[in-house]
Amino acid sequence: MQFGVLGPLQVWTDDGSPVEVRERKVRLLLAALILEPGRVVSADCLIDSLWGRQLPAKPTAALQTKVSQLRRDLESAEAGGRKLVRHIAGGYQLDVDKNAVDAGRFAELVNQCNNSDNPHSVVQAAEQALALWRGDALGELASEPFALSAINRWQELRLIAQERRLAAKVELGEQADAIPEIAELVGDHPRRETLRALHMEALYLVGRHEEALESFHQLRSRLDEDSGLRPGPRLRSLYLDILRHDSRLSHEECHSGNLPADLNCIIGRERDVKDITSLLEQHRLVSLVGPGGVGKTRLAFQVAREHTRDRQRPAWLVELGTVPGQQRATCEWTVDDIAYAIIRALPAQFTGPPPPCTDDQPITLRECLGHVLRGQDFLLVLDNYEHVRPAAAQVVSDLLHAVPGVSVLATGRAPLHIPAEQRWPVAPLGLPSPDTATVSGAMELFRQRASASAPDFALTEDNIDQVEAICRRLDALPLALELAASQVATLGIAELARRLNGGVPLPPVRRWGVPDRQRTMSDTLEWSWSLLNEDQRMVVRRLSAFRGPFTLTQAVALCGDSALSLVHIDEIIAELVDQSLLQLTTTDAGVRYAMLETTANFGRSKLRQSGEFDDIMRRAQRAARLARR
């Protein structure tokens, strides 16, 4: 059975049916026992609770009669109910757990509020606690002397739950919604300083500074009139903080996010940063899409920093390529893996409690994600999703629907392909026009990184053409430029240019403190290669034989054989464009496709390994000659 005292005295069977206990003295007996669930209440205390000074002729016998009535009422409602009222050495006991009484559950929930640092958990526990109240505690029995102490205790706990709930809402940035409730409580409890402080703080945070100060003045005047006392030190300190506009009152998120500190300034992307930041103001999902090594991650971080500064909202980074247990690109990720990676990246105080679940209906992490982030407002930076695209797309779609305050800035080598997505193709850095002598973004990046390893290096009239040639040879890809620039100290600029122009491999350079896939350009391309199926790999190998742009007809002629249908080749080429391994351009002569030189060189190395290098190269030359006729 369940017992209720946070309202009129009530008993329910285990199936929720109400139990009638009509006779007043029996109800008083039940109330006196409920106040001490599981404990023995002496017969003398029970007699005093039922009759006070107006004792019956035979008090003990009268008490036994009321006990028998109570047992009959409980037994008639549910078999075994009479056994709940036990006679033990000079007294009686209601043999139930404290959680069988709503006041016991209420006290436990308030205790959870007091012990939690997570504002979401506080709000949830407080609302559950306050929902247990059905009216005035004990209803018509509330004036009984034996009940007064317990009722006062419950009312104090109720007020604490209200305070904790409203304080948590203020912490979550919901001050405007909380202020009317706080003001009502302040009116009911005008001398309660914890409520007054919360009222002042909430008013200050919504810009109502004068009203915040006036709230303090009202309390000070009231105390002065009633007792001559003055507000306590905490309230006086808060008053001074408001006067000074102290930054400690700001309630801004304790973190601006978890973006790593930028060790180098971003080069050649100023316009991109500005435009993408503007795009994020209009769209909740922006995907930065481009080939490996083009600088998507660095660009995303810079955009996120600008967004955080402009919008005063945190940005949280989830690096999908480095989550423990999922180190290889070929790993199969589930939507729960992605959801876990997101939850894991956020601080504990940023996530609320999970939704309730049962053994019959367990809650998946994917279902849990939107619930625990309810009410949050932040930018999620989802880096390197290409190897988990299907799962990532599903989770992002779910998240955008479930949490209106969340925006997503994602990076990958292919789009997510969900309706809310706004794509931003990330191109290589700029190169100067052949007829100009300006220093481009690619050349400036090379100069800065070369100077880091060779402090005496500078762009001069003697080497500027070589640097430009190096940048063109490396497709102006930031990663390739940084790796090549690190060789200037050992090879010199002339030898570096000669080797790159002649296709001579450079000495291996390992970069530490970066993901494995970004340590060398070969690692980056191998990562992309690992995401392809066998048919896609065959097409990449063969198309790498073209020395320049080619048409779809040429591609079909080169790749078509008994293993691939013409329709399938069309589909694969579209997929390779989607995955940033082919670039598509539209000219007056029609659509043309091309590979970045770094990708083509990698593809030709795979072509040699396949054993069909000579045959495919001849076919590519023949296709090129036919196209020129």
pLDDT of residue 327: 43
| pLDDT reading at 433 higher than 70 | no
Angstrom CA distances, 45 to 5, 34, 64, 262, 302, stand at 19, 13, 13, 72, 72
Return the CATH superfamily for domain 174-251.
Tetratricopeptide repeat domain (1.25.40.10)
pLDDT of residue 24: 93
| pLDDT reading at 519 higher than 90 | no
Residue 347 is given by DSSP the state: -
Tell me, what amino acid is at 343?
I
| pLDDT reading at 330 higher than 50 | no
Tell me, which fold does domain 2-98 have in CATH?
A: Arc Repressor Mutant, subunit A (1.10.10)
- pLDDT, tens digit, for every residue of 295-320? 888 899 999 988 887 777 788 888 88
CATH code assigned to 532-628: 1.10.10.10
pLDDT band per the 50, 70, 90 thresholds, residue 58: very high
| pLDDT reading at 198 higher than 90 | yes
- Residue 250: exposed, middle, or buried by beta-carbon count in 10 A (0-12, 13-18, 19+)? exposed
| pLDDT reading at 192 higher than 50 | yes
With beta carbons less than 8 A apart as the criterion, state whether 509 and 487 touch.
Answer: yes
pLDDT of residue 247: 59
- pLDDT, tens digit, for every residue of 448-484? 888 887 888 888 888 888 888 888 888 888 888 888 8
Cα torsion 211, 217, 219, 221 to 10°: value is -140
pLDDT of residue 208: 86
Which two structure tokens, joined as six digits, stand for 423? 């794509």
| Residues in contact with 502: Cβ distance below 8 Å, sequence separation at least 6, in sequence order | none
Would you tell me which CATH number, out of the four given (3.40.440.10, 3.90.1150.10, 3.90.550.10, 3.40.50.300), belongs to the domain 270-355+362-425?
3.40.50.300
Question: What is d(CA 464, CA 450) in angstroms, rounded to the nearest whole number?
Answer: 13
pLDDT band per the 50, 70, 90 thresholds, residue 360: low
Question: What is the gyration radius of the CA atoms in the chain, in angstroms?
Answer: 36
**Is 532-628 the same fold as 2-98?**
yes
Domain residue ranges of the chain, discontinuous segments joined by +: 2-98, 174-251, 270-355+362-425, 441-518, 532-628
Expressed in angstroms, the distance from the first to the final Cα of the chain is: 93
